[in-house]
Amino acid sequence: MQTVIGRLTADAKITTTKDERNVVNFTIAQNDRFKVKATGEVKQLTTYFQCAYWMGTGIAAHLKKGTLVEAVGRIGVNAYQNMDGNVVANPTLHVQFIKLHGSAKGNAIAPTGSVPATTEPADDLPF
């Protein structure tokens, strides 16, 4: 199992396969910063993971561009030859678990398992 934490590059899309199964597809951009020892220069490397979530489509409404997510699943590689004849490979993630950590600007994510605020005064507690 591999854990990937990053931001969504676009809103998730629901796709139906030929055998009538639904899959939620999305892409996570994971940023990694490191310092080059010889020069002290700080570099940033971004890796894009093409993700597929087969457990249900309800999560798709919350997977909006810019949302910070944590996805756990089986990693794979999609290799192909581009128009220039070069072989290109993209990492894929077959997601088994997904957790929302933050929303994109302007999108509110309701916390799960939250307790509604009470309007009772603090001095009326039974203990």
Residue numbers of the domain that contains 59: 2-106
Q: What pLDDT, in 10s, does the model give residues 69-99?
A: 999 999 999 998 999 999 989 999 999 999 9
In a domain, 41, yes or no: yes
Residue 111 located in a structural domain: no
pLDDT of residue 47: 93
Domain presence at residue 115: no
Is pLDDT above 80 for 114?
Answer: no
Domain-located, residue 81: yes
What rounded mean pLDDT belongs to the chain? 84
Domain membership flag for residue 57: yes
pLDDT tier at 111 (50, 70, 90 boundaries)? Answer: very low
pLDDT of residue 8: 96
Residue 81, domain CATH: 2.40.50.140
The pLDDT confidence band at residue 107, using thresholds 50, 70 and 90, is low
Cβ atoms within 10 Å, residue 26: 26
- Total domains in the chain come to 1
pTM over 0.75: no
pLDDT score of 102: 77
In a domain, 83, yes or no: yes
Measured from the Cβ of residue 31, the count of other Cβ atoms closer than 10 Å reads 11
Structure tokens at 57: 């489509």
CA distance 26 to 12: 5
